[in-house]
A and B are shown apart, each in its own frame.
Chain A
Amino acid sequence: MPDSPPAIDDAAIAAWACAIGLETAMRERPQEIHDAARAALTLGASLARLEAAMAEPPPPLAP
């Protein structure tokens, strides 16, 4: 089951994009930037979940 995109508003993404030098893309294709940021956050959350799952001990054997 894919993770849901974390909550982050469009203004925060726009500011983030400009802070990392993507003003041109933000101006020309804002929807692509919003999608990219949310995809990255979703992937990061998925990786964190996966690492946590790997760290869990295996379930006990049924009696």
Chain B
Amino acid sequence: MSDPCWLGVAGLAKAYRTGSLRPTDLTEALIARIDRLEPALHAFIALDREALRADARAADAVFAHNGDPAPLTGIPIGIKDVIDVAGFTTTCHSAILEHAPPATLDAAVVTHLRRAGATIAGKLATHEFAIGGPAFDLPFPPARNPWNVAHHPGGSSSGAGTAVAGGLLPGAIGTDTAGSVRNPASACGIVGLKPTRGVVPTKGVFPLAPSLDHVGPLARCVDDVALLFAAMTAQKIRSGMPGKIEDVRIGVVRHFHERDMPCDDAVAAAFEAAVSVLARLGARIVPIDLAPLNDFADVTRAVMQAEGFAVHRAWMRARPGDYCAITRRTLLPGAFLSADALATALRLRAALFANVEDTFAGVDILLTASSMTPACRIDDPAEIARTYMRNARAPFNLTGHPALAMMAGLSPDGLPLSIQFAARRHQEALLLNVAAAYEQAMGGPRRPPI
């Protein structure tokens, strides 16, 4: 058998059922890999190895004695450390909560995962309170990119991207308020799904901006993301994608990366290559213009800063020095936004929602760029400031439409490039199917050289 660390969610489920692998075998392989690579990758905030081993032994027993185990039995999933897991402190990667008491209850999404049989492997690194960017003035180090540990892994679900891309876990759960599941998926060359707003419950998730917050899965292939999404929403688990995408109408949005936020040449080339692949698969390609990307970005920033500051008002007043500098810089403008500015933002949000919704009258799927550049070096704050917000992900937080980011090749420097698909609300099945067809045509997931 090949290295079990690289078996995905679907592959593990199959291997357990055929008896070619036991959960305890996988667990020991993962722990050995984590022990070897974690000092360089910093994916985890907390990992309870003995609990992981105990859960694996229990899963072994289920497969030995139960003819119909739950679909994710014996599959370890990592949880971003803004999501409550009973028995673990939810630190939000912050000195503010580093010594808070452990959560007494699981977040709703964790409850769903456990009911589907999943093992909760541990808590994963994030940007402080899921905002800002990689920082070195926090109690825990920032996660690194498995494709090149000198580079950032995206964020804010940074540890999730790192752990999944680095083969430390087969899947993880992140949060996405302005792209924070899709950013690490893009930077780390994996797949990340932001579902339709409201489909995955946010109870037990530390809020960033409640009207923009989403919870979503990250995995190495689309089929695995589909399995996790089904478990998170307590839907019937399905697998076996892709189906055919002939005659699916794909609206291609080029002005985001050509005019509004010009991208690197490699990103543009990967985007055009993806359009060609989708056309070859039989999709109908329809050039589409949406509202300018910067309009979506401004409105998102206003809503996020206003709502985010409201969440942090008391701590920002009493102990601002306990936040890292990037978090303060990102949240503090929310203190000074006027009610008039927020009201304007909310009217614009409704107009931008209508713009996207109307567009879906003529197409089934939208294709956009995701990140406008590959991940830059993590120790280059000027380059992070220049590139980190150059992306096309926030529009779908603002509107609530489901969106998925995935790998679209490698840059000349060997770093992942990415694209993004979006769909009508509650059309995750079509979204995943199109992404799976593209993934299959591209030869499937790729592993980093680590």
Q: Across the interface, do B329 and A43 meet the contact criterion of CB distance under 8 Å?
A: no
| Interfacial residues of chain A within 9-63, with CB under 8 A of chain B in the complex | 16-17, 20-25, 28-29, 32-33, 35-37, 39-41, 43-44, 46-48, 50-51, 54
**Within 8 Å CB of B242, what residues of A?**
none
Q: Which of A20, A32, A50, A54 has the most CB of B within 10 A?
A: A50
**Do the beta carbons of B333 and A21 come within 8 Å of each other?**
no
B298 in contact with A21 (CB, 8 Å): no
A-B pair number, CB within 8 angstroms:
83
Query: Are A47 and B302 closer than 8 Å at their CB atoms?
Result: yes
User: Would B320 and A37 count as touching, CB distance under 8 A?
Assistant: no
Q: In the complex, what distance in Å separates the CA atom of A47 from the CA atom of B316?
A: 25
Q: Which of A24, A35, A46 contacts B298 (CB 8 A)?
A: A46
Contact of A25 (CB < 8 Å), options: B332, B345, B347, B351: B332
Q: How far is the CA of A44 from the CA of B348 in the complex (A)?
A: 12
B321 interface contact, C-beta 8 A: yes
Nearest-neighbour CB distance to chain A for B319, whole angstroms, equals 8
Q: Residues 312-346 of chain B: 1 if any A CB is under 8 Å from the residue's CB, otherwise 0? A: 01001111110001001100111111101100110
**Residues in B whose Cβ lies below 8 Å from that of A37:** 333, 336
Is B90 among interface residues, defined by CB-CB distance under 8 A?
A: no
For B344, list chain A residues within 8 Å (CB).
44, 47-48, 51
**Which residue among B298, B302, B347 has the maximum number of chain A CB atoms within 10 Å of its CB?**
B298
B305 near A: Cβ within 8 Å?
A: yes
Are A25 and B337 in contact, with the CB atoms below 8 A?
A: no
Q: Which residues of A contact B (CB under 8 A)?
A: 16-17, 20-25, 28-29, 32-33, 35-37, 39-41, 43-44, 46-48, 50-51, 54
Q: Given A37-B333, A40-B335, 11 more contacts at CB 8 Å?
A: A22-B316, A22-B332, A23-B317, A25-B317, A36-B332, A40-B337, A44-B337, A44-B338, A47-B298, A47-B302, A50-B299
Could you list 6 A-B pairs, sorted by A, with CB under 8 Å? A17-B335, A22-B317, A24-B320, A25-B317, A32-B329, A43-B298
